Amino acid sequence: MKITILRWSSVIAATLSATWIFLLTALVLRCSLAGGPFPVLAKFAPFREHFGVTDRMLSLFPIFALVAMVFMGLAWYSERSFRSNYKIAIICTVLVSMSPVFVALNPGGYFSWFLS
């Protein structure tokens, strides 16, 4: 039971570390579909709350990624077997690595737009 809680806690923390990507995508879509001109800077977007939540999740993604890896390590240590945890480890690794990949690739320049 304890190991199951650790596994799912790590998946939840890893998902929270990648949440800002989906929030940023939704913000870009909302600004595009708002009808007016696309804002020059993200802080001028007409959706203040959405911008604030996205900014908060962006600043917290390293903490959530660290928590996910700690929970995964604890589950691995408690189980003493990687074979039973490898599927969850792959899921957590993919979710945690989404953020650095998104930052490095900067698709459409929207990450730079958001930071400016």
Q: In terms of pTM, does the model score above 0.75? A: yes
CB contact at 8 A, 27 and 54? yes
CB contact at 8 A, 31 and 110? no
Q: Indicate the Cα dihedral angle 11, 17, 22, 26, nearest 10°.
A: 130
Q: pLDDT tens digits for 37-62? A: 999 999 999 999 999 999 999 999 99
Q: pLDDT tens digits for 63-111? A: 999 999 999 989 888 888 777 788 999 999 999 999 999 999 999 999 9
DSSP state of 73: H
Cα–Cα distance measured from residue 96 to residue 87, given in angstroms and rounded to the nearest whole number: 14
**What does the angle CA 115 – CA 92 – CA 14 come to, to the nearest 5 degrees?**
45
What DSSP string describes 24-43? HHHHHHHHHHTSSPPPSSGG
Cα–Cα distance measured from residue 70 to residue 63, given in angstroms and rounded to the nearest whole number: 11
> Other CB atoms closer than 10 Å to residue 103's CB: what's the count?
14
